[in-house]
């Protein structure tokens, strides 16, 4: 941990760390544009940000970190040359990073429609997942070819399939717990904190079901400039907030109860 990181870390309450942090990595293109470089240079620089963020999350003991690396929309709407570059970058990242992931006890997972990715990328992904499968620390989930609406569609289809193989539709029970069990994230807690870089105030079709109660932290920092220290700053801000899950905070409960008593 460098000096700046240690300084922010000292302000944190280790008992109240978010268990799951989700990050919308944004601003690679703008980072490159400001430097008069091609967009892909921003993606390449984004890998250093991924490395630093993942390492810090693991070091401070975050249970789960989910990174929005590639949306279904990216896949459809960006030039083929950029998509191909991102695929190669991902493949290279996985190959280079597995030893570090193992050293830091990080287990790799994926969410998204993986079967639509190129075969060689799918093979590399499976190899990296398998190579880290026995690690017991932070779960690093990469969202690749991911869309929250597609995830919900897949979950509803999966519920219907399960019911038809399991006694028919009279046994189909749909409630929040059942939907949760059919999402790609079925083995993860819902994120407590979602971070978005580059200042945009949107969820962009990311984990729409799971982020229902998450705290949102938006930073103007562009993704290639993001480092572990910025993650710790986001956690510090999270710890200043009071989470209410639709209820009242402590002070409000008292303030509301007292006038009622006075009227009795």
Catalytic residues: 26, 74
Distance, CA of 132 to CA of 124 (rounded, Å): 13
Per CB under 6 A, contacts with ligand FPP among 62-81 are 67, 69-70, 74
| Contacts of 242 by beta carbon, 8 Å cutoff, 6+ apart | 249
| Separation CA 112–CA 207 (nearest Å) | 11
Q: For residue 263, what are the CA distances in angstroms to 58, 254, 258, 259?
A: 54, 15, 9, 7
In this chain, which stretch among 8-16, 23-31, 118-126, 212-220 interacts with ligand FPP, using CB under 6 A? Answer: 23-31
Comparison of 42 and 182: residue with beta carbon closer to ligand FPP: 42
What is the number of alpha carbons within 13 Å of residue 61 lying toward its C-beta?
A: 7
Total of residues contacting ligand FPP (CB under 6 A): 19
- Contacts of ligand FPP in 197-236 (CB under 6 A): 223
Beta strand spans in 76-149 (E): 107-111, 139-146
Candidate segments 11-19, 27-35, 158-166, 235-243, binder of ligand FPP by CB under 6 A = 27-35
- Is position 51 an interface residue for ligand FPP (rule: CB under 6 A)? no
Q: How far apart are CA 190 and CA 210, in angstroms?
A: 5
Residue 98, interface with ligand FPP (CB under 6 A)?
A: no
Instruction: Determine if 142 is a binding residue for ligand FPP (CB under 6 A).
Output: yes
Specify the stretch interacting with ligand FPP by CB under 6 A; choose among 20-28, 150-158, 212-220, 235-243: 20-28
Ranked by CB distance to ligand FPP, the top (closest) residue is 29
Taking the least distance from each CB to ligand FPP, the nearer of 155 and 191 is 191
Max Cα distance, the chain (Å) = 73
Q: Which residue has the tokens 């190959």?
A: 95
Q: Which of 236, 259, 173 is nearest to 21 (CA)?
A: 236
Interface ranges with ligand FPP (CB under 6 A): 25-30, 43, 46-47, 50, 67, 69-70, 74, 89-90, 93, 142, 223
């Amino acid at each position: 941990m460098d000096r700046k990181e240690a300084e922010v870390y000292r302000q944190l309450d280790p008992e109240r760390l978010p268990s799951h942090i989700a990050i919308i990595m944004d601003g690679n293109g703008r980072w490159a544009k400001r430097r008069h470089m091609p967009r892909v240079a921003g993606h390449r620089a984004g890998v250093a940000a991924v490395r630093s963020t993942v390492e810090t999350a693991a070091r401070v003991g975050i249970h789960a970190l989910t990174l929005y690396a590639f949306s279904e929309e990216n896949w459809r709407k960006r030039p083929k040359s950029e998509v191909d570059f991102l695929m190669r970058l991902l493949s290279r990242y996985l190959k280079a990073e597995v030893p570090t992931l193992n050293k830091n006890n990080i287990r790799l997972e994926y969410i998204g429609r993986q079967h639509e990715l190129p075969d060689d990328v799918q093979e590399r992904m499976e190899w990296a997942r398998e190579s880290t499968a026995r690690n017991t620390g932070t779960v690093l989930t990469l969202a690749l070819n991911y869309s929250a609406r597609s995830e919900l569609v897949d979950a509803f289809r999966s519920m219907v399939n399960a019911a038809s193989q399991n006694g028919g539709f009279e046994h189909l029970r749909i409630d929040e717990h059942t939907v949760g069990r059919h999402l790609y994230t079925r083995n993860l807690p819902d994120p407590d904190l979602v971070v978005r870089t580059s200042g945009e105030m949107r969820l962009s079709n990311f984990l729409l079901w799971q982020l229902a109660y998450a705290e949102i932290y938006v930073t103007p920092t562009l993704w290639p400039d993001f480092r572990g220290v910025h993650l710790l700053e986001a956690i510090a801000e999270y710890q200043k907030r009071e989470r209410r899950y639709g209820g009242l905070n402590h002070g409000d409960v008292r303030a509301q109860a007292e006038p009622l008593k006075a009227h009795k």
